[in-house]
């Protein structure tokens, strides 16, 4: 009889998509606000480490740092809605994709081929997030007459909550 060992860690593809999402968000924020990008960079590191080792606490802290980077960038810079929407969407996606990867690791282990599962989940989450971002941008454009950027930041928080609730 052959003994089978299962490594209860997230699949590598799940780690990669969560880290990539976080990195895209940090890059978008870093282009318009170095302080916001720096905070988001810490978030990228925490999301990557948390997902790699299967720590929901580190993953959550990383997603929180990404969201804080969005708030900081929105408050300190005259950034338009684009980078802030990308940063907010990336924060929500990196948390969602990381949580999914950690759950797969706990249930199936790292050795299981979960490529199709991870890709399907990522595509669905990205689609929902893109719709939320588009609606947020539409509301921003409709209400752009004299509204401060802080209003957009709070709108982003609502979009992030929507994406998280749909999960």
Q: What is the pLDDT of residues 45-79, one digit of tens each?
A: 999 999 999 999 999 999 999 999 998 998 887 77
Establish if 89 belongs to a structural domain: yes
pLDDT band at 163 (very low <50, low <70, confident <90, very high): low
Residue 138: what pLDDT?
Answer: 78
Establish if 5 belongs to a structural domain: no
Q: What is the pLDDT of residues 115-162, one digit of tens each?
A: 999 999 999 999 988 888 888 887 777 776 655 666 666 767 777 776
Establish if 4 belongs to a structural domain: no
pLDDT band at 98 (very low <50, low <70, confident <90, very high): very high
Residue 61 is part of which domain span? 12-166
Burial class of residue 26 (count of CB atoms within 10 Å of its CB; 0-12, 13-18, 19+): buried
Dig out the tokens for 59 from the structure: 């993953």
Q: How many domains does the chain have?
A: 1
Establish if 6 belongs to a structural domain: no
Place of tokens 């989940």: 121
Q: What is the pLDDT of residues 18-40, one digit of tens each?
A: 999 999 999 999 999 999 999 99
Establish if 22 belongs to a structural domain: yes
Establish if 60 belongs to a structural domain: yes
* Residue 43 DSSP one-character state: H
């Amino acid at each position: 009889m052959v003994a089978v060992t299962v490594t209860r860690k997230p699949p590598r593809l799940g780690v990669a998509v969560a880290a990539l999402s976080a990195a895209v968000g940090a890059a978008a924020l870093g282009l318009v606000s170095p302080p916001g990008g720096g905070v988001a960079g810490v978030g990228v590191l925490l999301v990557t480490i948390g997902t790699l080792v299967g720590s929901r606490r580190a993953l959550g802290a990383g997603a929180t740092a990404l969201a804080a980077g969005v708030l900081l960038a929105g408050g300190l810079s005259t950034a338009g809605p684009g980078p802030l929407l990308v940063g907010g969407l990336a924060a929500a996606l990196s948390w969602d994709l990381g949580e999914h990867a950690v759950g797969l690791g706990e249930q199936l282990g790292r050795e299981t081929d979960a490529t199709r599962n991870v890709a399907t989940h990522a595509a669905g989450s990205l689609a929902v997030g893109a719709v939320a971002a588009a609606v947020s941008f539409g509301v921003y454009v409709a209400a752009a007459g004299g509204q401060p950027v802080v209003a957009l930041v709070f709108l982003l928080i609502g979009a992030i909550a929507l994406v998280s609730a749909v999960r």
